[in-house]
Chain A
Amino acid sequence: MHHLSRITFIVLALVLTMGICSAQAKDEIRVSGQPCLHGLPTWWAIEDGWTKDKNIDLTYTLFPSGAPQVEALAADQWDVGAMGTVPTMMAILRYGAKLIAISNDESETNDLWVRPDSPILKTKGFNPKYPEIYGKPEDWKGKKILVTTVSTVHYALDATLKALGLTEKDVEVVNIEQGQAVTAFASSQGDVVCLWAPFSYTAESKGWKKVSSGARSGAMIPGGVVVRKDFAEKHPDLVVEWLDLYMTALDRMRTDKAGSGVWLNKYFAGYCGLQLPESAIKSEFELRPIFSVEQQVKALTAPDEASAWMKGVADFFAGQGRITKADMADLEKSNFGIDASFMKKVQEKRAAKK
């Protein structure tokens, strides 16, 4: 009995201290990200102490890819985060997440590569509308293409084939994960390999040649910044506060590439355990256009930008039978989860400061 009361006491004390701690603590925002350029801002803000004089407390969780990140969203494990277009769309479709910003334009870093001796390299600009795509349709026909299916680079491949007047039936598509695709292509499997950064930097270093990309084939691939449905409804002010920090980082990346590069390298090597050559860090900023607050507001509100980009991806998935007609209708009804209100508030806040 004596024992029991002691345990009760300890438990009570614990609960009380926890209560006091949480009462004193700043508002917590749980941020998720990936070992990628768009994961840097929050980590940067934490490491560089940007939140010291602010009433928010950021925690950052790293995810290896989009699928576990979306699963963790379903489990209520994070509030805001940045990820690729496909997980963004799935988070919006299945869990009602909101798209509140475009982290960067990933169209050029979703690219298609061949070996230097490939016949595809002989011609360029077969379709004058797409002058940067290599190869004639005959060169592409029957080629074995390594691609991570149901991904943005699959979308880029589809756009490339369409630009050449082909469909997936004219080539042999092999589903493979990114890391494995590099290994397989290096051991002379397949004729074309579809990669995204940072895997494309490995391709470049191996002397493979880029024959097309999302940008070259007119497939716009926006990186998404999303907020959990509940969190957006309950704490819109916190979302704005965090988004302000995120945009501060993006602004620095736009204006000070060298200084941001140092941080990106720290993030990759020191935090994610991803050792990349210096040239790759440089390419990260060169190949990924980043939008300012004004550009973001325009992109999120103009009917021919964010919603059109998302629709392009959604149409591709619907065409592949990956999402149903009902899913498509849901997406269109919610305007692909796009919510410009947070970005507008950031804009107002900054205008007021001036």
Chain B
Amino acid sequence: MSTAHASALEAPATSRVKGYWKEYNSSVFSLLVFLLIWELVCRLGFISRFQLVPPSEVIVVMIEKFWTAPPDGATLFTHIAASMTLALVGFCAAVVVGVPLGLLMGWYKPVMVLVRPLFDAVRPIPPIAWIPLAILWLGIGIEAKAFIIWLAAFVPCVINSYIGIKLTNPVLIRVARIYGASNWETFIKIGVPSAVPMIFTGLKLSLNAAWTTLVAAELLAASEGLGYMIQMGRRLARPDIIIVGMLTIGFTGALMSYVLTKIESRIASSRRL
């Protein structure tokens, strides 16, 4: 797969398109079949019109939503941009706090002993449950919403950084010690770099978590965003708007995972060189 991809990059544009087509034709095909079955299920009356909107109508509404604001008050792009901003703010905050915390937990035993029980106790609490406290502490602006996302995105950052640094090759650590490196130096120069691949996986999981917590976060005083769009769709009894919101979350989320995977493999291959 990777060699085919590499050659596609060097080839002229037309065959590059062909290469992409070869890689993705089955995906396109499978999505088309999925849509077709969905359409048929609706058209042939297996499920009532009220219970599932056929994809043909969903697509029409989706295209309309690109430039029309009603009935939910903003265009699809505005919603996507608002949600992206929110998810990224929460995600970045989670990385800034979670990665160092995980690394320190893995390296310094006292940090681990003190933090781990609290971390384990807070983890199972669903983000939505924090909404009232978030309002009390942070108000109803982006901070409170980002906090809800932060709670979810924070967990994989900590866990993966922790595991990553725990897996540092002890031989390397001993070598560093022998050459007189202090514990801090060893941590920065040996521990952290060797944890990078695991951290990256953690970031991916964390971004996923951030994106999937979006709808919960936008239950809190939002006036735009994809979660808000679904909420409005419910209030106005518009299943088509709800499904457009869901599918947009799906598409955007899948796209983000895809981009991150590509970046990850780029970094991995450059590291190998």
Size of A's binding interface in residues, CB under 8 A: 35
Q: In the complex, what residues of B have CB within 8 A of residue A68's CB?
A: 234
* B149 close to chain A: CB less than 8 A: no
User: Is the contact region of chain B dominated by helix, strand, or loop, or is it mixed?
Assistant: loop
**Stretch binding the partner chain, chosen from A27-35, A183-191, A285-293, A341-349:** A183-191
Cβ–Cβ contact B71 & A322, under 8 A: yes
Contact of A180 with B132 in the complex, beta carbons under 8 Å = yes
Known: A75-B50, A180-B220, A322-B70. A91 touches B139 (CB 8 A): no
Residue pair B71, A86 in contact (C-beta under 8 Å): no
**A76: which B residues are within 8 A, CB to CB?**
48
**Is A70 an interface position by the 8 A CB rule?**
yes
Query: Which residue in chain A gives the minimum CB-CB distance to B138?
Result: A187
A91 and B237 in contact, given A184-B139, A187-B136 (Cβ under 8 angstroms) = yes
Binding site for A on B (CB under 8 A): 48, 50-51, 69-71, 73, 131-132, 135-136, 139-140, 219-223, 228, 232, 234-239
Residue among A177, A189, A321 making CB contact with B71, cutoff 8 Å: A321
Q: Please report the C-alpha to C-alpha distance between residue A183 and residue B144 in the assembled complex, in whole angstroms.
A: 13
A187 to B73 Cα, complex, angstroms: 28
CB-defined contacts of B136 to chain A, threshold 8 Å: 183, 187
Q: List 11 A-B contacts (CB under 8 A).
A: A67-B234, A74-B239, A93-B237, A146-B221, A149-B73, A149-B223, A151-B235, A174-B223, A187-B135, A321-B71, A323-B236
- Given A175-B223, A180-B220, A322-B71, verify A71-B140 contact (CB < 8 Å): no
Q: Which residues of A contact B237 (CB under 8 A)?
A: 67, 70-71, 74, 87, 90-91, 93-95
Q: Is A176 an interface residue (CB 8 A)?
A: yes
Does A150 touch B at the CB level, under 8 Å?
Answer: yes
Chain A 135-170 near chain B by CB (<8 Å), digits 1 or 0: 000000000001001110000000000000000000
- Taking A94-B237, A175-B223, A321-B69 as contacts, is the C-beta distance between A180 and B131 under 8 angstroms? yes
A151 partner residues in chain B, CB cutoff 8 A: 235
Chain B CB within 8 A of A17 CB: no
Q: Tell whether, in the assembled complex, residue A86 and residue B51 are in contact, meaning their CB atoms are under 8 Å apart.
A: no
Say which residue of B50, B131, B140 sits within 8 Å of A74 (CB atoms). Answer: B50
CB-defined contacts of B221 to chain A, threshold 8 Å: 146, 174-177, 180, 184
**What's the minimum C-beta distance from B14 to chain A, rounded to whole angstroms?**
45
User: Which residues does chain B contribute within 8 Å of A179, judged by CB atoms?
Assistant: 132
- Interface residues of chain A, those whose CB is within 8 Å of chain B, are 66-68, 70-71, 74-76, 86-87, 90-91, 93-95, 146, 149-151, 173-177, 179-180, 183-184, 187, 189-190, 321-324
Complex contact B140–A189 (CB within 8 A): yes
CB distance from A115 to the nearest CB of B (A): 16
Contacts of B140 in A (CB 8 A): 146, 174, 176, 180, 184, 189-190
Chain B proximity of A174: nearest CB distance (Å): 6
Contacts of B50 in A (CB 8 A): 74-75, 94-95
Report yes or no: B235 in contact with A150, Cβ–Cβ below 8 A. yes
Contact A183 B132 (CB under 8 A): yes
| A175 with B222: CB separation less than 8 A | yes
Chain B residues within 8 Å of A184, by CB = 135, 139-140, 221
Give the distance to chain A from B74, nearest Cβ to Cβ, in Å.
11
Chain B: minimal CB distance from A193 (Å): 11
Q: Which residues of A contact B238 (CB under 8 A)?
A: 94
* Nearest 8 pairs of A and B residues by beta carbon: A321-B70, A90-B237, A74-B50, A67-B234, A176-B221, A150-B235, A175-B223, A94-B237
Q: Which residues of B contact A176 (CB under 8 A)?
A: 140, 220-221
Supplied contacts A176-B221, A180-B140, 15 more A-B pairs, CB within 8 Å:
A68-B234, A70-B237, A71-B234, A71-B237, A74-B237, A75-B51, A90-B237, A93-B237, A94-B237, A146-B221, A150-B232, A174-B140, A321-B69, A321-B73, A323-B71
Q: Are A150 and B132 in contact (CB under 8 A)?
A: no
Distance (whole angstroms) from the CB of B261 to the closest CB of chain A: 36
